[in-house]
């Protein structure tokens, strides 16, 4: 006869270990940052470095591309919550978040690999755009559109081109600079003020 001491029935399978998942993500990021391309990356090598079995990885990710996408997404700073008080304040906050993401060499290295290998791994590139790029683009698009609607910016502003000008200027400094010199503390303000000046009524 069953007794109350048996407790609740356990569901099939073991709960995933957050510690193991973090070790796996860290292992993948470290290997890529050290120069291992996505093509050369293997589940076996990641498992060995993380100190887990291959089955532990496959319970969470169906292939290495999905694992790399999660690793890349984990490096991105949270999408900034823009207050909507002014288009200038919102744009500066957004650009500052972009700049912050590039402070660590490992982050820059992995982001560059994600972009450079997009042709060889189109699924990886598409998932990266879906998880990381598009949500951030929507935040910036909304900020500029609010500026147009409020009259802070001209009614005829091309929102897509304005987005490209603002984010492209920050990428010029953070991803294409010639050296590792510290970026100016007021870089976001300088970019925002220069570009928004041409978009105001």
- pLDDT of the residue at 15: 46
Q: Report pLDDT digits (tens) over 66-105.
A: 898 888 777 666 677 888 889 999 999 999 988 887 766 6
Average pLDDT over residues 137-163: 96
Place of tokens 């700073």: 77
18-73 has which CATH code? 1.10.10.60
Counting beta carbons within 10 angstroms of the beta carbon of residue 11, is it exposed (0 to 12), middle (13 to 18) or buried (19 or more)?
Answer: exposed
At 8, is the pLDDT very low, low, confident or very high (cuts 50, 70, 90)? very low
Asked if 184 contacts 190 with a C-beta cutoff of 8 angstroms, the reply is yes
User: Where do the domains of the chain lie?
Assistant: 18-73, 78-197
* CATH number at 78-197: 1.10.357.10
C-alpha angle 107-89-172 in degrees, rounded to nearest 5: 40
Q: Which helix (H) or strand (E) holds 57?
A: helix 54-58
Q: Which residues, 6 or more positions from 166, have their beta carbon under 8 angstroms from its beta carbon?
A: 91, 94, 95, 140, 191, 192, 195
Quote the pLDDT of residue 71: 81
Full-model pTM: 0.73
């Amino acid at each position: 006869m069953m007794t109350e001491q048996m407790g609740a029935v356990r569901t099939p399978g073991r709960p995933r270990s957050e510690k193991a998942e973090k070790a796996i993500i860290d292992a993948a990021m470290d290997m890529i940052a050290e120069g291992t391309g996505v093509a050369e990356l293997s589940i076996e090598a990641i498992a060995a470095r993380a100190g887990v079995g291959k089955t532990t990885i496959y319970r969470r990710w169906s292939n290495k591309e999905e694992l790399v996408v999660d690793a890349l997404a984990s490096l991105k700073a949270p999408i900034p919550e823009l207050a909507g008080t002014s288009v200038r304040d919102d744009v500066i906050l957004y650009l500052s978040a972009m700049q912050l993401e590039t402070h660590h060499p490992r982050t820059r290295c992995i982001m560059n690999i994600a972009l450079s290998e997009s042709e060889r791994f189109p699924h990886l590139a598409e998932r990266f755009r879906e998880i990381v790029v598009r949500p951030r683009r929507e935040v910036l698009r909304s900020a500029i559109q609010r500026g147009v609607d409020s009259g802070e910016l001209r009614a005829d502003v091309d929102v897509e081109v304005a987005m490209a000008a603002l984010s492209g200027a920050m990428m010029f400094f953070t991803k294409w600079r010639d050296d590792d010199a510290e970026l100016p503390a007021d870089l976001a303000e300088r970019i925002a003020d220069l570009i928004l000046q041409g978009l105001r009524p």
